[in-house]
Structure 1
């Protein structure tokens, strides 16, 4: 068989198929055509990626990419050339009242893939900048489950869940009610929920108690108050109970939601995240989050294995999104690949409170394959 492109000599890390070895990946017709040895003599284009990690295309499971439609949106394709993301999950930038604009003006004009969790707030996240901060879930008049469910059902190819933001910043003193409205919309549309949590009310445990199997708590390693650990560093029992029930835990780093102290305690307590994501938006793209490569590098420093990190940005988010074609490099799957290298050096990592850690390794981008073609070569940039 003749292939359009072959990546040769790389360490293929594909947790979905249990592959972790040096071999080749071939593409034809925009899809993965083969994974195996000796494929590089049968391709129109061969790229030597020796020493690099070849993984399914990275899914950043918590982002804000409604550029131009919201104050917090960033340009997805531009950041993809730095971060290596091939699929963005935008979580709540758009609500029922403005999703069509997001679909037509951004999603339809972007080369990398965008999926969405629709905000229960009719206007999405509409007041988030360095000068204006309005918690959209503070105004219960905007939370209309029927409208949210209607728009979600009308866009099943893109809308994969419902988003809600709760906590004193996002929802004031409305407590758990916005989450219950989001669940009502999700039940109508047969979708999961992602719940943002900030400072109380409500408490971390109270949120976990309401989430259903398949739902996601984002900002799961946030600092105090409302951290997942007790003051002595122990993991809260509610975390284990929720995970046993089928709730997923997503990092969602952002500008205020990742603490080294908490992350170290959670990992020491046997509670790694299910999903690693950046929560990249206009106020954290220049730090402390930067992008998902930076967030992944922090977990590499914290001791997570490369295989587990890759799983957290490929198979697990793809499973939650019910998009198995994005999850692995099986023949016929979406022809998206992120090629990374692990750099050695002296690096400083910073969390949202300004705490630093010094490390000797970090991920860097080698290249991106989209729909079976070499879309970006970081070596040539």
Structure 2
């Protein structure tokens, strides 16, 4: 035996003693076998979606489950980008009675994730005077991604005299605050004004121009001095948003029952038309004839607040299901609830599942049966399809799981089992 033999033998024994570990899986989570609808990428087919580090890592007809730490079977379900609801009211917690900067709002996480919604835009609850309180109280604490339209009223949507105070509708401080928080303040909101003046709209547009963000308009009381057609054909810019489009409260239909021609002209100019269902802003007697005439929404939103969540609106999926009941294809309904609203607020990183995008995902079941859908005024439309959220992912983590798709059966676990999750795929 040569002089180096004992050393070689020792090295071989040492190598044998070192345990061999399996290679770390490429993906944290694999959604397998679902029907992916991703309008931005033109996908409407069965696809596997793999996630790593909170991002979409791969999308393919088949991805090997051996490459994933955790696999969830979503066959028979629809996989969509996390839903984007651009009209909600979530400035809760101040204790102010009768105020959308208070008791009329809801905390987001209890009403969004269970409906597949991963991003919301608060629609004007805060103005420049109280936005930073809203940010500290709600935005910075929510799992839901909360963005905001800043109210042109400095005091925000506090009701009564505050929202009618023309002197507090200052464009410059609103625009400056919006510029201070780019990507968080995504627009300017004007709402609920009851007077004949154009001042709220004009100052909102000025603030939006300062900050290079769109304006969303809830047109308040219907006034002959400021007709809807003039708003959408002259006052608003391309990319500005008219919400509550099927309300019937401001001349969306003409006296003959047809769509106001100004809406078609406004769309040609690039004005965006949003649903904004709410507690009093969606009527079958407006939506059904408008849809039949081809006036479809650009985006679906809820106008979530304490007065809408338990009434005809309920949640995002219920509003989306109403458009299925009016004969609209599922792929279009998902586009109006994901990629379209993301683009409307200039958030092109949201609303799609491209490789490298954040893994906000909604897994939906399309139920077949006999259902009834109620508008804001208590009238019902019958339908045969309804969307239900089975699973929601936020940044690649499961944050809602209706039927335990991500969970093992209890009788397959050790007798003293405790937690069954893992931080690589479970959100808490």
TM range (shorter): over 0.9
Give structure 1 regions of 4+ aligned residues with deviation exceeding 3 angstroms: none
**Equivalent residue for 2:108, pick from 51, 57, 76:** 76
| Aligned 1:181-330 pairs, distance under 5 A | 181-201=203-223, 202-209=226-233, 210-223=235-248, 225-330=249-354
Determine the C-alpha separation between the residues in 2 that align with 1:181 and 1:137: 14
Report the aligned-residue RMSD.
Answer: 1.4
Shift, 1:227, TM fit: 3.3
| Aligned 1:1-381 pairs, distance under 5 A | 2-39=26-63, 40-69=65-94, 70-127=102-159, 134=160, 136-165=162-191, 170-201=192-223, 202-209=226-233, 210-223=235-248, 225-380=249-404
For residues 283-305 of structure 1, what are the alpha-carbon distances to aligned partners after superposition, in whole Å with 9 as ceiling and x for unaligned? 11111211111110111101111
Shift, 1:171, TM fit: 1.5
- Quick check: 1:71–1:126 contact (8 Å CA) kept in 2? no
Partner-residue secondary structure (3-state), 1:229: coil
- Quick check: 1:136–1:171 contact (8 Å CA) kept in 2? no
Shift, 1:135, TM fit: 6.2
Determine the C-alpha separation between the residues in 1 that align with 2:237 and 2:344: 13
Determine the C-alpha separation between the residues in 2 that align with 1:303 and 1:175: 39
Unaligned runs of 5+ in 1: 128-133
- Quick check: 2:273–2:299 contact (8 Å CA) kept in 1? yes
Determine the C-alpha separation between the residues in 2 that align with 1:25 and 1:41: 14
Shift, 1:157, TM fit: 2.8
- Quick check: 1:335–1:371 contact (8 Å CA) kept in 2? yes
- Quick check: 2:115–2:315 contact (8 Å CA) kept in 1? yes
Determine the C-alpha separation between the residues in 1 that align with 2:246 and 2:236: 17
Aligned residue pairs, count: 370
TM-score (norm 1): 0.94
For residues 309-345 of structure 1, what are the alpha-carbon distances to aligned partners after superposition, in whole Å with 9 as ceiling and x for unaligned? 1110111111112211112111111110011111112
Determine the C-alpha separation between the residues in 2 that align with 1:361 and 1:50: 19
Shift, 1:104, TM fit: 1.2
Q: Return 71-80 or 50-59, whichever deviates more.
A: 71-80
Unaligned runs of 5+ in 2: 1-24, 95-101, 406-428
TM-score (norm 2): 0.84
Bigger Rg, which one: 2
- Quick check: 2:169–2:203 contact (8 Å CA) kept in 1? yes
Determine the C-alpha separation between the residues in 2 that align with 1:116 and 1:321: 10
- Quick check: 2:29–2:51 contact (8 Å CA) kept in 1? yes
